[in-house]
Structure 1
Amino acid sequence: MNDNYYNKHAQEFCENTFHINMSDLYQHFTPNLHSGAKILDAGCGSGRDTLYFLQQNFSVDAFDASEELVALAEKHTQHPINHDTFLSFQSLPNNYDGIWACASLLHVPFNELYLTFKQLIKYLKEGGVIYCSFKYATDKVETEINQRKFTNMNEVLFQQVIKCLPLVIDKLWITEDLRVNRMNEKWFNVVLKKVS
């Protein structure tokens, strides 16, 4: 299980990701939100993005499946973080203006992504936005690297995932990895809007 990996390597993971400059990605997400909007950071990892959203005066709920990452995220943000998976997390329906799922849904097996999106967007207001990112690939859909399983994504696969959901693609773009020595890795980024 990926959460076992993150429990064992939580400190190392935080050190490698917490200080990455995410400003370009935030600019695709936050302009869709009003002042004080309510955000769900789904799979928050180190708490890096939760902290940023709090500093921008958004109201933020966050969760992660790794107990060790939850503890570190609470330390980094001085904010309560829930210990949940995508499917165990619960909230009020239509509670959030935005859902941020940065490099987290990529750990969900491809055949479970539809159900996971369906579960998450129950909590998203109509007209609300969701950002998510996956490793970009056109060949292998699922891979395993260093004891972690990944679901890779491309435009065709993503349309299959969302085709029966009340979601429309607002923006879709490919970026290079922002981590040092990872410039050869590409990322699939998408902002979706929930429609009636």
Structure 2
Amino acid sequence: MDRATIETYTSGAASYAAEWAKQPAPDDLYAHLTQYFRPHGQTVDIGCGSGRDVAWLNAHGYPTGGYDASEGLIAQAACQYPDYTFGLAALPELGGVPRGSFDNVLCETVVMHLPVAQIGPACRRLVELLKPKGVLYLSWRVTEGSSARDVAGRLYSAFAPSLAVDALEGTTIALREDAVNQSSGKRVQRIVAIRS
């Protein structure tokens, strides 16, 4: 993960958590999860931020824990949702997150914060988390032109969707779309991949 991006999220964790709480619910995301995720399956949210989606998944029958690279965001999630499990782990390695253990993996608008060279390895690692027939929901915010940092210092990498798709070996692509995220209003790429 990009170190400056992690530091930005950690130092501003309370502000980011408050900002995300004010956004409209991501009903488009939740509709896809309801359609594709395995019901009652062990689920993990990679890049869980302040824990909003972990809470939604648990409330809708998907036993879910969350991991994030930012200590500050993990602290926000644990404070806001004390009944759920959160841990510290960063893409692409995801040290401590067990392979082959999950029916469902969510990675919502995270991989664009990685340097381009790490995106393929990160996507391969996400697939490794899945059990056979497990489902990966992967999305990222689209950056036009060249990779850039926002005013806060967060990295937004620009890359072709094929970089992620080609790394999802051993899966069948069930959904691939270019859309506007209902919660953030930003353009995103979405992929649902099912492990063989």
TM-score range, shorter chain: 0.7 to 0.9
Q: Is the 8 A contact 1:137 1:152 kept in 2?
A: yes
Task: Give 1:145's aligned residue.
Answer: 150
Taking the aligned partners of 2:50 and 2:143, their CA distance within structure 1 comes to 25
The C-alpha deviation readout for 1:152-184, integer Å capped at 9, x for no partner, is 35xxx22233325223321122222445xx64x
What letter is aligned with 1:16? Answer: E
Which residue among 12, 17, 39 is the counterpart of 2:15? 12
Taking the aligned partners of 1:186 and 1:88, their CA distance within structure 2 comes to 26
The C-alpha deviation readout for 1:77-121, integer Å capped at 9, x for no partner, is 212210111213333332111110111111111111111112222
- Greater RCO, 1 or 2 (C-alpha within 8 Å, sep 6+): 2
Runs of 4+ displaced beyond 4 Å: none
TM-aligned CA deviation for residue 61 of structure 1: 2.0
TM-score by length of 2: 0.86
The C-alpha deviation readout for 1:51-88, integer Å capped at 9, x for no partner, is 00111121112111111100110112212210111213
Secondary structure of 1:30's counterpart equals helix
Asked if 1:104 is matched to 2:107, the reply is no
Q: Is the 8 A contact 1:29 1:191 kept in 2?
A: no
Unmatched segments (≥5 aa) in structure 1: none
Unmatched segments (≥5 aa) in structure 2: none
Asked if 1:80 is matched to 2:85, the reply is yes
TM-aligned CA deviation for residue 137 of structure 1: 4.1
CA RMSD of aligned residues (A): 1.9
Using the aligned pairs only, state the percent identity: 19
